[in-house]
Amino acid sequence: MANLDLIKSEQGPRLAFLEKADVNAIAETLVAFANTEGGTIVFGLKDDGEIAPKKIETKALEKALREADSACNPPVVVGNWEEVESEKGTVFTVRIPRSIELHALSDGRVLIRSGVKNRPLGGQEILKLASAKNTGDFETETVPGATIDDFSNKMITEYLAKRAERTKRPYNGKVADLLKEIGATDKDGKATVNGILMFSEYPQHWIPQSSVVFAKFVGKTPRGENGLAGYTRREELTGPLPRLIENAWNLIWSEMAVSAVVKGLEREETYEYPQFAVREAIVNAICHRDYRLKGRRIEIRMYSDRLEVISPGGLPGFITVENIVEEHFSRNPRIVNGLFQWGYIEELGLGIDRMMEVMQQAGHKPPYFDARPYSFAVTLYNEREKQKAPEWSRNTNHRQARALQYIRDHGSITNREYRSLCQGVSAETLRLDLADMVEQGILLKVGSKKGTYYILK
């Protein structure tokens, strides 16, 4: 994101606004960003994003940054501050990368970035975060025997195109420099785990545990008749991470049941599982699995009543099943960022929330999360809540049925909206349709004259 774009953004897990160069506020935000996903501080903006009335002096900012960093234990790596001119005024930005160390304030507090706030952690959360930090940054370790020549030019070109589409600007520098910047190679240009997983045509040559196993079962259990395996299809998927996501999705899609319902005069296909929920489960597993665990691969199990996506490695950092919607911490932040730039992640940190929302909207039970020490599973159920049709649904014509569906989708309908919905039908006929539903007690008429609209009674 360009620095000028930050001014137009809202605060969040990776972006904080500070109106003044307050040492305590800076120190807290440095620690919170370093302990979580990293982020950017914009100095000179109020909480609502408006330019602060009093401009921050550069000397005061430099002094405050030094004092804030000295209040962090250990010190936080802070990038150089940048001055950004906008039509609203002048602000300053400072980028803080995610750290592999656990950082605390001089008073002992350990903070993380949670939404738009810096949240202090409790004892057990600190221990869990420390444990995650102590495992090191596996995705940036070099891969013995692999070199940059093992990267696919096709995959790199595709990534650059997708990145330019996401950021709205092409990358014009040297590719070798970008690969170092995103952690695909180390400072000496050697291939890392992240680089091999993202850009090698066959990363399983070096990291065999990075493949995905898919199995479709006949019933609700893995066992079939006479104790034999109950699956009708089993596939092992290989390739770089973007291809794993695509191939896993295509495989599930090919096995997914599709039904059709008629709403009004339109036929609408209904899928066994909401598409976003399935893709999110796949992407999460590939992004957040523990690639250090050898001999264990991501498993996708499709049963008659549910879809399970099982990822090796427990929940990272301070994340629990209870706080998984509100909090955000990645075991593999460079892989996450790479797949975000590739377009497989819509918005960082909002996937689980959206997954639960689309399952509910489709009438399904909410996803079930099972967190164990060495695995994390997401289960999507295909059963929908059966809704009994209202008695009056048999007493409406096809135009009225469309109006009722419109009200269910939008909350209300006006005469104008009904005419737009049923073009070619006289206004008087449509008026009588609405009046008839009011008389039957189906609709309630609200307002008068041009302000009239109808809602379900």
Q: What is the pLDDT of residues 83-104, one digit of tens each?
A: 888 777 788 999 999 888 899 9
For the chain, how far is it from start to end, CA to CA, in angstroms?
48
- What's the whole-number average pLDDT of the chain? 87
pLDDT at 388: 47
- Strand 298-302, strand 212-217: pairing: parallel
Q: Which residues contact 427 (CB under 8 A, 6 or more apart)?
A: 415, 419
Please count the CA atoms within 13 angstroms of the CA of 443 that sit on its side-chain side. 28
Tokens 């991470």 correspond to 241
Please list the residue range(s) of the chain that carry CATH number 3.30.950.30: 3-133
For 68, the token pair is 């804030």
Mean pLDDT to the nearest integer, 395-420:
84
- 415 by Cβ neighbours in 10 Å (0-12 / 13-18 / 19+) ranks as middle
Element (H, E) at 445: strand 443-446
**pLDDT digits 0-9 by tens, 130-156:** 888 766 689 999 999 999 999 999 999
Arch. (CATH architecture) of 3-133: 2-Layer Sandwich (3.30)
Domain with CATH 3.30.565.60 in the chain: 219-237+247-332+342-381
What whole-number distance in Å separates Cα of residue 207 and Cα of residue 211? 8
pTM higher than 0.85: no
- pLDDT at residue 1 tops 50: no
Q: What is the pLDDT at residue 341?
A: 93
**Which pLDDT score is estimated for 262?**
56
Structure tokens, 342: 């590739």
pLDDT tier for residue 444 given thresholds of 50, 70 and 90: confident
CA angle 187, 151, 145 (to 5 degrees): 70
Per-residue confidence band for 409, with pLDDT thresholds at 50, 70 and 90: confident
- More confident: 231 or 32: 32
The segment(s) of the chain belonging to CATH 1.10.10.10 are 391-456
| Model confidence pLDDT, tens digit, residues 289-308 | 999 999 899 999 999 899 99
State the Cα angle at 27 between 21 and 28, rounded to 5°.
110
Smallest CA-to-CA distance from 115 within 15, 214, 46, 17 is with 15
Instruction: Please give the single-letter amino acid code of residue 49.
Output: G
- Report the pLDDT averaged over residues 375-400: 72
DSSP string, 52-110: PSSPPPHHHHHHHHHHHHHTEESPPP-PPPEEEE-SS-EEEEEEE---SS--EETTS--
pLDDT of residue 389: 47
pLDDT value, residue 384: 64
| Contact call for residues 140 and 190 (beta carbons, < 8 A) | no
Residue 413: pLDDT over 80: yes
pLDDT of 263 over the 70 cut:
no
pLDDT of residue 3: 55
pLDDT for 233-256, tens place per residue? 999 999 999 999 999 999 999 998
In this predicted model, what pLDDT tens digit does every residue of 325-351 receive, in sequence order? 888 888 898 999 999 999 998 766 678
* CA gyration radius, the chain: 27
Whether residue 133 contacts residue 100, with contact meaning beta carbons closer than 8 Å, is answered with: yes
Predicted pLDDT at 324:
85
Q: What is the pLDDT of residue 180?
A: 95
Check: CB of residue 112 under 8 Å from CB of residue 318: yes
CB of 304 within 8 A of CB of 256? no
Give pLDDT, residue 100: 84
Strand, coil or helix: 429: helix
197-237 tens-digit pLDDT: 999 999 999 999 999 999 999 888 887 656 666 788 999 99
User: What is the predicted pLDDT for the residue at 369?
Assistant: 94
Q: Is 32 in contact with 327 (CB distance < 8 Å)?
A: no
CATH of domain 219-237+247-332+342-381: 3.30.565.60
Say which CATH class 391-456 falls into. mainly alpha
Confidence of residue 55 (pLDDT cuts 50, 70, 90): confident
Please indicate whether residue 194 or residue 268 has the higher confidence score (pLDDT). Answer: 194
- Structure token pair of residue 171: 């990358």
